[in-house]
């Protein structure tokens, strides 16, 4: 069973890399609060120009506060503990049903060749990341 879980984790990594998804588990709210708070304070002190200056300074502070917290989703998946991996595996297998595979290459080929299945699994992966890990998901342009 361990190899099947490992195959599914690597498949999830491939799906998220294919979609170029990044996520942050914590910190985005703090960065946004810093930007908004300093823009507000700047507006109280300096009027319209203060809003611009406060927003710029707050944006830089927010950027600094959250730097390094956005990770590629494949990295987050590979850092999941065994219980989290098992939960993600169960979610994926609920969609895949009775699909059988012999190795990762065959599994990846089966999923990537089926657009509907690929979309369902990507949606389940994003749902898992946002619900179970309370992460914010971002797509890289």
Q: For position 38, what pLDDT does the model report? A: 66
In the predicted structure, residue 105 carries a pLDDT above the cut 80: yes
Q: Tell me, what's the pLDDT at 39? A: 66
Here the tokens at position 93 are 């297998």
Lowest mean pLDDT among 75-79, 106-110, 120-124: 75-79
Q: What is the pLDDT of residue 65?
A: 58
The mean pLDDT value of the chain amounts to 80
This prediction has a pTM of 0.65
- CB neighbours (10 Å) of residue 5? 17
């Amino acid at each position: 069973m361990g190899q099947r879980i490992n195959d599914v984790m690597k498949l999830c990594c491939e799906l998220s890399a294919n979609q170029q998804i990044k996520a942050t588990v914590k910190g985005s709210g703090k960065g946004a609060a810093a930007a908004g708070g300093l823009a507000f304070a700047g507006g109280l002190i300096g009027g319209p120009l203060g809003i611009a200056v406060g927003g710029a300074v707050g944006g830089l502070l927010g950027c600094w506060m959250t730097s390094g917290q956005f990770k590629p989703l494949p990295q987050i998946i590979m850092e999941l503990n065994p219980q989290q991996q098992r939960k993600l595996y169960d979610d994926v297998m609920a969609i895949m049903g009775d699909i059988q595979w012999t190795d990762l290459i065959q599994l990846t080929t089966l999923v990537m060749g089926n657009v509907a299945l690929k979309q369902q699994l990507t949606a389940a992966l994003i749902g898992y990341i946002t619900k179970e890990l309370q992460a914010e998901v971002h797509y890289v342009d």
